[in-house]
């Protein structure tokens, strides 16, 4: 931008922005065009309009009275005016819609800041307080824009995972049904029967993983684990899960014991998920030692413990063991901690509690407590 196109009468930065916004927008949009994705449909007018909205918001912020105390709070992100919030949010929404990346949006704010300050420097004025407040306003808009952009991309990702997981259930159901029919049709051929059983087991495991992904997506989008609570005998639930676990892991040894009255009003299918995830976890990490599953009468509550020997859970992992995708190994979704996350969510939905204890001497024990 040429120096002689700028008004040189002494003025504050806010007045300078209002009087020279066309030149500022021109300098900014020339750079912003270089960031546009190849197939973006954003027009030149849309590009300039977003910048003009931001500049007007900045000018309004600069014209707002602000005490030293308010300035101090604002510099730490605790201001109350939030004049730049709406502009920052709208800017993020517009750029996300047109395919801009987070780094592109950040670069735009840098370019806008540089355009204004460079042109203001050429004007010869020196409103240092205005420059400080301008930087605060840009930082506020940038923070709001980054927060909005991240929240929206998280939402889109979760929606995508939910839709994908839901749509995968139909073809997977066909594979499962076909493998089951194949296994029955070739009972005389032991080798082929084993192959069919392996296909069926893998498809069932994929089905459980998809169910866990759907539950994760539901909770990430603000929903709760849905429950269909009926009179349930936890002993029956555990016995069915043990049979399934042993079918899927022929070499595993699972001992189950039921002590006293272990009935209550619960969602049997959801509790089966909890038991299955905990038993599967114990089998996987139990160093091929027997797994002990115990359901016990505890008065107004029922407890369920799953115990295995083997290496204890590392200390650094324990604080986040029930968080999703927190236990990064490398061989599957369950190993990333999603199974334990879902198990905790189901227990909490039943107003129960789940805890873990682990040591070299005692092995690892997960304990679930459920109100009847």
Report the distance separating Cα 31 and Cα 318, nearest Å.
48
Residue with the bigger pLDDT between 223 and 42: it is 42
Mean pLDDT of 157-182: 66
The percentage of the chain sitting over the pLDDT mark of 90, rounded to a whole number, equals 18
* Same domain as 142, residue 50: yes
257 and 351 together in one domain: yes
Q: What is the mean pLDDT of residues 52-65?
A: 76
Identify whether residues 284 and 235 lie together within a single domain: yes
Q: Which residue, of 165, 189, 223, is where some domain finishes?
A: 223
Q: Do 137 and 263 belong to one domain?
A: no
- On whether both 12 and 54 belong to a single domain, the answer is yes
Rg (CA), the chain: 30
Q: How many domains does the chain have?
A: 2
pLDDT band at 201 (very low <50, low <70, confident <90, very high): low
Q: What is the mean pLDDT of the chain?
A: 75
Same domain, 192 and 275: no
> Are both 211 and 293 inside the same structural domain?
no
- CA–CA dist 56, 51 (Å, integer): 9
Full residue range of the structural domain in which residue 40 is found: 1-223
Last-in-domain residue among 172, 202, 223: 223
**Same domain, yes or no, for 115 and 156?**
yes
Answer yes or no: do 7 and 145 share one domain: yes
Q: What is the pLDDT of residue 222?
A: 56
CA geometry: angle 17, 35, 147, nearest 5 deg: 70
Instruction: State pLDDT tens for residues 218-251.
Output: 665 555 677 889 999 999 999 988 888 877 777 8
Residue 253 has pLDDT above 60, yes or no: yes
Same domain, 244 and 158: no
- Rounded Cα distance between 329 and 335, Å, is 6
Longest dimension (CA), the chain: 97
pLDDT band with cut points at 50, 70 and 90 for residue 33 = confident
Grade residue 85 by pLDDT with cuts at 50, 70 and 90: low
Report, as an integer, the average pLDDT of 160-167: 62
- Determine contact, residues 48/115, Cβ cutoff 8 Å: no
**Confidence label for 28 from pLDDT (cuts 50, 70 and 90):** confident
Q: Which two tokens stand for residue 353?
A: 């509690």
**In the 8-state DSSP scheme, what is residue 226?**
-
Residue 92 Cα distances to 33, 49, 60, 128, angstroms = 16, 14, 20, 29
Looking at the predicted structure, is the pLDDT value of residue 349 above 70?
yes
Please choose, from the candidates 88, 118, 94, 1, the residue with its C-alpha nearest in 3D space to the C-alpha of residue 46.
Answer: 94
pLDDT above 90 (res 352)? yes
**Could you read off the pLDDT of 287-337 as tens digits, one per residue?**
778 999 999 999 999 999 999 998 888 888 888 788 765 544 433 333 445
**Measured between alpha carbons, how far is residue 267 from residues 14, 205, 227, 372 in Å?**
62, 21, 6, 11
Considering the domain architecture, whether residues 122 and 200 belong to the same structural domain is answered as yes
- The more confidently predicted of residues 302 and 80 is 302
Q: Across-strand partners of 363?
A: 359
pLDDT score of 289 = 83
DSSP E strands in 230-309: the ranges are 230-233, 254-259, 263-266, 291-298, 301-308
pLDDT at 20: 83
Domain boundary (223, 249, 269) is at 223
Domain match, 117 and 57 both:
yes
What DSSP element (H or E) covers 369? strand 363-371
When pLDDT is cut at 50, 70 and 90, the band that residue 10 belongs to is: very low
Distance CA 6, CA 351 (A): 67
Say which CATH number the domain at 264 has: 3.30.565.10
């Amino acid at each position: 931008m040429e120096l002689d196109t700028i008004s040189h009468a002494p003025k504050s930065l806010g007045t300078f922005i209002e009087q020279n916004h066309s030149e500022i927008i021109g300098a900014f949009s020339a750079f912003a065009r270089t960031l546009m994705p190849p197939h973006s449909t954003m027009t030149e007018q849309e590009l300039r309009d977003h910048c003009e909205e931001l500049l007007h918001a900045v000018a309004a912020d600069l014209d707002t009275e602000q005490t030293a105390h308010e300035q101090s709070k604002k510099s730490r992100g605790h201001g109350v005016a939030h004049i730049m919030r709406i502009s920052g949010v709208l800017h993020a929404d517009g750029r996300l819609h047109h395919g801009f990346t987070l780094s592109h949006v950040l670069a735009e704010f840098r370019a806008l800041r540089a355009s204004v300050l460079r042109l203001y420097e050429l004007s010869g004025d020196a409103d240092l307080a205005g420059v400080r407040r301008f930087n605060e306003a840009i930082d506020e808009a940038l923070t709001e824009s980054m927060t909005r952009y991240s929240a929206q991309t998280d939402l889109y990702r979760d929606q995508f995972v939910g839709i994908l997981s839901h749509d995968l259930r139909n073809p997977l159901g066909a594979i499962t049904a076909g493998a089951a029919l194949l296994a029955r049709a070739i009972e005389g051929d032991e080798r082929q029967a084993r192959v069919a059983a392996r296909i069926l087991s893998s498809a069932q495991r994929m089905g459980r993983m998809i169910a866990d992904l759907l539950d994760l997506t539901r909770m990430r989008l603000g929903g709760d684990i849905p429950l269909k609570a009926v009179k349930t005998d936890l002993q029956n639930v555990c016995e069915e899960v043990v049979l399934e676990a042993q079918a899927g892991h022929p070499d595993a040894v699972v001992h189950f014991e039921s002590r006293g009255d272990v009935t209550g009003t619960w969602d049997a299918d959801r509790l089966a998920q909890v038991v299955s995830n905990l038993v599967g976890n114990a089998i996987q990490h139990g160093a091929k030692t027997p797994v002990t599953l115990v359901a016990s009468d505890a008065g107004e509550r029922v407890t369920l413990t799953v115990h295995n020997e083997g290496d204890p859970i590392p200390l650094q992992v324990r604080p986040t063991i029930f968080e999703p995708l927190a236990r990064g190994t490398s061989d599957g979704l369950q190993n990333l901690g999603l199974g334990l996350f879902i198990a905790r969510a189901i227990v909490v939905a039943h107003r129960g509690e789940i805890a873990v204890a682990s040591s070299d001497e005692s092995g690892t024990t997960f304990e679930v407590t459920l109100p009847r």
